[in-house]
Amino acid sequence: MQRQNPLRHIPTILFLVLLYTFSPQCMASLFSESNIAPEIRLVSHVNKKNINIGEELRYDIFVYIDPAVELELPAIKKIGNFLVKDSGVTKRKDSSRGAVDIWYILAIYETGDQLIEGVDIRYKTRQGPWRNTKSGKVKIHVQSVFERSKIEKDIKPIEGPINLIFPYTWHILICSIAFLVGIYIIHACVKNRRKALADKKGHDERKFLLYNQLCKQTQALKGSNNISGDDFVKYADLTKSYLGLIIDIGSYEFTTEEFLSTVMVNKTILNKYGEDLSSLLRVSDMAKFANYQPSLAQLKKAVSFVGNLIHDLTP
């Protein structure tokens, strides 16, 4: 029986292998973008490795990619045991390659060694399929706010009460406290009295100052046939301030209605000046809030009223 040569099929096998290798289907499978992994690199980073419970930390994923690569980021609310408080994407400008900073603000409410799990990121080239990758894990330590390395150092022995051997110690303490309180009360009374005297002196000086200003303003307006709305408002406010000092009620914190209702309690002013005072302040409000231009008759009436007022209420 003739033996067959086992090597005689080698040329045929080599021919079939070469034929398959250079076939269009094989070339496409070898060199298509789906089989060529784009250049991508992930670097995970945290701003601190040890935190207190509830304290926020920043977790960054630096993605180094080619410009032709497209990223898809998941919308996540938790990374392992960590809650995501905020997140964002920043394009870095300090790198010659395409670099993207994906950052998360995290918080955790469990203590001990904790692991920040990697984040799933999808990417692809313009014509290729989507692929998945994952950032690296980072281990941190979360400690309680009461955690100490040697807490016994903070604990001090409890001392007994002070031994009061002298029989009159409590009496001396009480008298000393009463003496200090008495000095404080006397000092406060003297201080308040001095302040009251200074206020009264300043009150009188301000009253004379406003009286002189009002006299000069009234004298200047007697011969005037026209006045702007702003000047009328200033004239009315000056009159209001002077009258408030005369009857000791003040005027700067009162509205027109409040001021009139307070002043009208004084029967003398109500009977003699009530109508003219009300007219002056209401025209002033219209000029202040509605850009109203007071007429000549209103100006003459106001000047006459203020002249009589400062004549009768001279300080």
pLDDT of residue 33: 36
pLDDT-based confidence at residue 165 (cuts at 50, 70, 90): low
pLDDT of residue 30: 38
Helix (H, G, I), strand (E, B) or coil at 103: strand
Q: Are strands 57-65 and 40-46 parallel, antiparallel or unpaired?
A: antiparallel
Domain extent listing, the chain: 40-143, 200-312
- The yes-or-no verdict on residue 2 having pLDDT over 60 is no
| Mean per-residue pLDDT over the chain, rounded | 76
**Which of the pair, 204 or 175, is modelled with greater confidence?**
175
| Proportion of the chain above pLDDT 90, given as a percent | 2
Taking only the tens place, the pLDDT of each residue in 231-273 is 888 888 888 888 877 777 754 567 878 877 877 777 777 777 7
Mean pLDDT of 56-80: 81
pLDDT of residue 156: 54
List Cβ<8 Å contacts ≥24 apart for 267-276.
269/243, 272/312, 273/305, 273/308, 273/309, 276/301, 276/302, 276/305
pLDDT of residue 25: 47
> Whole-prediction pTM value?
0.36
pLDDT-based confidence at residue 160 (cuts at 50, 70, 90): very low
Residue in 266, 259, 265, 264 with CA at minimum distance from that of residue 282: 259
Mean pLDDT of 276-281: 84
Q: Which CATH number fits domain 40-143: 3.30.56.10, 2.60.40.10, 3.20.20.140, 3.40.190.10?
A: 2.60.40.10
